[in-house]
Structure 1
Amino acid sequence: MNQTTPIPALDDGYHYKVMRRAIDLLDAAEEPLSLQQIAAEMGMSPAHFQRLFSRWVGVSPKRYQQYLQLGQAKEMLRERSTTLEAAHEVGLSGTGRLHDLFLRWEAMSPGEYARAGEGLTIYWGWFDSPFGLALVMGTEKGICGLALAAEMGEDAAMQDLMSRWPKAEFIEDPMMLRPWVLTAFGAEDGSLDKAPLYLIGAPFQIKVWEALLRVPSGHVTTYSDIANAIGSPRAVRAVGTAVGRNPVSWLIPCHRALRKSGALGGYHWGLPVKRAMLAFEAARAEA
């Protein structure tokens, strides 16, 4: 296994890893687990685990499990659906997006994109995240890739990102990326210069990813809403493809895009990961 760079929790690295294991356990459970069962798995007393989980996630383990239920996506679509044009008008595309962490982004020009990364140096590293092992890639301008390997595996995640820019030079350097990653997963306060994004994609893809950046945490949207927001109302299928090709999971929140029916739809990095992300954000929004 590749060496990973741990991301410290808000208090310490040990508690961060415990919470990550707890989220994995709850998401994998086929039926709700009792507080006693979860605490035993974590090697803690029920009272201590309850306090720790509630402080870190924002709600109790029982409430969090309710967010993982299949009907939660439909409820979010009814109650927290974001019309992207309205979100932009009221400022949600500014300080409200992505936990105030990603206010600056830059896109590669179409000509540069057509060269498949030729002349581009991309740094990479493995990191622990709330959603399992994360492969993060970035240039000197910002994060350009974030793959989650919990479902697809490490080798497939690495091949997936590297194949997007086949002519780039790839250098392992997790310490170069570490400050951005800390901000990305909320382990440090964000700033305008700490976690920039560098979007590498075709012009249509960039437009779709920019629209996703306007969906606030704890809210969802639909593929058709995204198509309307970018001025291509008939391009719903093409929008879905662009959403699926988003190379920067979590940070460009493609997990917030649902079908009109409330169904989760697909997710490139695995549907269990998408469910966990939506539940995590919904719980924190409520808190």
Structure 2
Amino acid sequence: MSDLSPEYHYNVIGRAIREIDAAGPGLTLDALAQRMGMSPAHFQRVFSAWVGVSPKRYQQYLALDHAKSLLATRHTTLAAADGAGLSGSGRLHDLFLTWEAMTPGDFARAGEGLTIRHGWFDSPFGRAIVTGTERGICGIGFASETGEDAALDDMLSRWPKAQFVHDPALLRPWVLQAFGARPGQNADTPLFLIGAPFQIKVWEALLRIPSGHVTTYSDIATVIGHPKAVRAVGTAVGRNPISLLIPCHRAVRKSGALGGYHWGLPVKRAILAHESARADAANTAM
């Protein structure tokens, strides 16, 4: 694979993000570039082009109190975001998302009669298990904290009566779009939501949170018309099957604490840092 290809670059950036997160603020540019097998100048150019800021600046976004800063400066009340819907800054990596949901009756049958394709892919946040039907992506999970076997079992167990087929070829175009290996291509990325009606209402609310912003579980409960159901909302957020594209990582506690994340808090921190860096870079360029 050419070192000029998008796939090569996002694999490098994924490794670099994990190195930065593991090493903390003491990791120098020279040491990081050496680990990536690149010169410092070349690595800085590649990283800045993909993440939007320098590796040093990105380290600041990974600070543990970053979520509190986001809550103070980029707290989105979803009622106010309703008008924007999925447009403008709500896009993820300049993608358009289209989605449809399984009917409640189909959901109750636990995927019976449904054929779900699955495959493993590299992402900027570690190895990812992706599932989908002909109608769109229905699941994304990350294995860097849980391990691949556990992540695969977790994802496939969500629809116990479905037929599963290993078929990464069907999913690959959508996956490359979702993980940013085809930047600037604004083709629709279809999602197929498989969940109970209450869960889908919560996931729809998550889709309204703009990239680089956060909201709280209580805000979500309010906007879906169940202000006292904060705990149930938290459970639905945690059961979101399509990580990253349905941005459950943008939901935090009122205190600014990250709360939980099904695939591990280091993954949540890395995604929030990545989106914040891109949002700041875009605002600076305006």
Q: TM-score, normalised by structure 2?
A: 0.93
Decide whether aligned partners of structure 1 residues 268 and 9 sit closer, same or farther in structure 2, where only a CA change above 3 A counts: farther
Aligned twin of 1:44: 38
**Structure 2 residue aligned with 1:258, among 252, 262, 266?**
252
Aligned counterparts, 1:119-138, within 5 A: 119-138=113-132
Matched, 1:216 2:238: no
* CA pair 76-35 structure 1, distance change in 2 beyond 3 A: same
Any conservation in 1 of the 2:25–2:59 contact (CA below 8 Å)? no
More off after superposition, 63-72 vs 8-17: 8-17
Secondary structure at the counterpart of residue 62 of structure 1? helix
Counterparts of 1:55 and 1:30, CA distance in 2: 22
Structure 2 residues without counterparts, runs of 5 or longer: 282-286
Q: CA deviation at 1:34?
A: 1.4
Give the direction of change, closer, same or farther, for the CA distance of 1:10–1:213 in structure 2 (3 Å limit). Answer: farther
Change in 2 beyond 3 A, CA 1:10/1:185: farther
**1:18 and 2:22 are equivalent in the alignment:** no
Give every structure 1 segment of 4 or more consecutive aligned residues whose post-TM-superposition deviation is greater than 6 Å.
none
- Retained in 1: the 8 A contact 2:120–2:129? yes
Aligned counterpart in structure 2 of residue 93 of structure 1, from 86, 111, 116: 86
SS at match of 1:96: helix
1:226 is matched with which residue? 220
Q: CA deviation at 1:30?
A: 3.8
* TM-score (norm: length of structure 1): 0.93
- Work out the CA distance in 2 between the residues paired with 1:65 and 1:275: 11
**Cα-to-partner distance string for 1:224-250 (whole Å, 9 max, x where unaligned):** 010011011000000000000001110
1:172 is the counterpart of 2:166: yes
Judge conservation of contact 2:199–2:236 (CA < 8 Å) in 1. Answer: yes
Q: Kindly state the Cα deviation for residue 101 of structure 1 after the two structures are TM-superposed.
A: 2.3
Deviation at 1:258, TM superposition (A): 0.4
| Map 1:238-249 → 2, pairs under 5 A | 238-249=232-243
RMSD: 1.7
Residues 10 and 236 of structure 1, relative CA distance in 2, 3 Å threshold = farther
1:33 offset after TM fit, Å? 1.3
Partner AA of 1:143 in structure 2 = I
Shift of 1:45: 2.2
Q: Which residue of 2 aligns with 1:57?
A: 51
Q: Distance in 1 between matches of 2:266 and 2:29?
A: 21
- Sequence identity (%): 69
Instruction: Give 5+ residue unaligned stretches, structure 1.
Output: 1-5
**Structure 2 counterpart of 1:71:** 65
| Other-structure match for 1:158 | 152
CA distance in 2, matches of 1:102, 1:245: 23
Contact 2:6 2:181 in 1 (8 A): no
Residue 276 of structure 2: aligned partner: 282
Deviations 1:113-150 (A, max 9, x none): 00000000000111000000011000111100011111
